[in-house]
Structure 1
C-alpha cells in the first residue's frame, strides 16, 4: 500500500540492520508456532494461518507498545489483511496508527470540535446494505477547504469513521459509501484534504471501506481524480464503482434494499446527518 500522506514524516520503522534482526526474529517465531487447531481460532471466521499471524503480531506489538494490549484481535487482523498477512509490515503499520491516535484523537472527536465541517451538511448516514454494512452518503459539492489549514477536515474524517463503526452490527467491520459528485467544481477541489482523508482511511483504518459508489462525476472532477488515483491502494481500487447516470437506482439496488436506500435515489429512507446517526 502506498503512503498517502501528502506531507513527509519520519519513518517509524527501525534501521536496516535492526529491521533485518526483527524480521529474522519474527520468522523464527513463525516457524516455531504451530498452526491453530480448528475450533481454537481467536476469531471464528479467521483461517488457521490468520490466527497464527494474529498471535505473532500481538506478541510483537505488545512488546513495543503496552497500549496494544487493549486492542482486540479483529483490529489486528484488519492490519494484517491490509499488508497481505506480513506480520512485520502489519505490526509497524499498526504501531504507527497507535502513535497517530494518541497524538491526534486520543479521546475521539466530538461535534463541538468540528462545527465548520458539520455546518456544510455534506455527510449523512442511514440504513445498511445487503451485507449489513452501514451506509454513508457524501455530497462532494458541499465540501470546501477549511480555514484551519485542513486540521478540522482531518478530525471530521476521523469522527465520521468512528460514527460508522459505532453503527456496525456485531461481526461487521466495513461500511458502504456513496459519493455524489453532482455540482462539484474547482471551488470544491481540495487535493490535500482528499489525500489526508485517504491516509486516515487506508493507513489508520484499513479494511473498513467495503464499497464506494461514485455518482454524477463531472468531467472536471476526473482531472482531480487522476491525481488522487495513484495513491489509492490496489485492494481499495477494486471496491470503487463509477455509476452510469442512467443506471443509478438500478445499480444501487443490487447492493442495497429499497427499504434501506436514501429517498433521493429511489429508496425509502430520509437523509440523517452524520452527527445524528
Structure 2
C-alpha cells in the first residue's frame, strides 16, 4: 500500500489541525485535500509534525507538485534535520559570530507584491577555515530572519546577489552547494526570485560547477542582470522607493542581525 493510500485510511480528524485561514483563502480544493492527507501521514511517522502549520505543509506539497508521497518524504527529512541541526528551534547571533563579522548580508524594503528583499555581497564571503558548520548555521539564521519579516499573506522573499569585486578567493563551491541544499530541501517555496548582479567572468566558471545542484524550479527564479540595466530590471519588480542606495534607491542597507 503506497503512502497516499495509507494517509487516506487515517482518520484525519485525529490530531490533525484545521487548515489555516490563509491556506483556505488562496488554496485550491485539491491542495486542501492534499494538505489533510499529508498531515495525517506525517503525524503517524513523526508526532512533532503537529507543531507545523498548514502553510508549511503546503509549501512542501507545492515543491513536489502536490504529490503526497514525495512531499512526505521531503517533509520528514526536514523534521529530522531540524531536530538535529536546530535543536533549540533557532540559530542565535552567538552561534554565527564569524559569519556576521563579514557584514555580507543585508535586508531592506519589499518588492511590489510585499516580498522582503535580501541583499548578499558575494565578495565578502570566504570559505570558512573551521569547516562548513558555522556557514550552514548562518544560512539558517538568515533564512529564518527573512522569513520572520514577511508580512501576513506572504511566504517568499526576493534575493539580490551583488558580485562586484568577486574573485577566486570567494569561490566557496562547497559552501554555495551547502546553502542551496538548505534552501531547496528545508525552505521550499521560500525564494521568489534571485537577481544576480555584476557577475564577473570568473564567477561563471564556478557557476558551472554549482548549476547542476540547482533544481529546475529554482533555476527558473534566477535572473542574471546586464550591468547597464540593473536599475531598470529591478524596477520591474521593486518600486524605486524600496530600492537600496547601492542600486539608485533611497533606502540604506540594514545588517541582517538588526532587521
TM-score by length of structure 2 reads 0.93
1:212, CA displacement in angstroms? Answer: 0.3
Aligned length: 248
Superposed CA deviations along residues 1-55 of structure 1, whole A, max 9, x for unmatched, are xxxxxxxxxxxxxxxxxxxx3346348659xxxxxxxxx9952100000000000
Secondary structure at the counterpart of residue 153 of structure 1: helix
Q: CA separation in 1, counterparts of 2:69 and 2:125? A: 37
Structure 2 unmatched ranges of 5 or more: 11-20
Matches within 5 A, 1:58-73: 58-73=39-54
Alignment correspondent of 2:17? none
1:140, CA displacement in angstroms? Answer: 0.3
Matches within 5 A, 1:1-277: 21-23=1-3, 25-26=5-6, 29=9, 43-107=24-88, 108-277=90-259
1:259, CA displacement in angstroms? Answer: 1.1
1:41/1:51 contact within 8 Å kept: no
1:230, CA displacement in angstroms? Answer: 1.2
2:112/2:239 contact within 8 Å kept: yes
1:215/1:244 contact within 8 Å kept: yes
Q: CA separation in 1, counterparts of 2:215 and 2:142? A: 20
Q: CA separation in 2, counterparts of 1:262 and 1:97? A: 34
Let me know the Cα RMSD of the aligned residues: 1.5
2:122/2:163 contact within 8 Å kept: yes
Q: 1:41 to 1:259 in 2, by over 3 A?
A: closer
Alignment correspondent of 1:6? none
Q: Which runs of 4+ in 1 moved over 2 A?
A: 21-30, 40-43
Q: Which structure would you say has the larger RCO, counting Cα contacts within 8 Å and 6 or more residues apart? A: 1
Alignment correspondent of 2:13? none
Secondary structure at the counterpart of residue 173 of structure 1: coil
Structure 1 unmatched ranges of 5 or more: 1-20, 31-39
TM-score by length of structure 1 reads 0.87
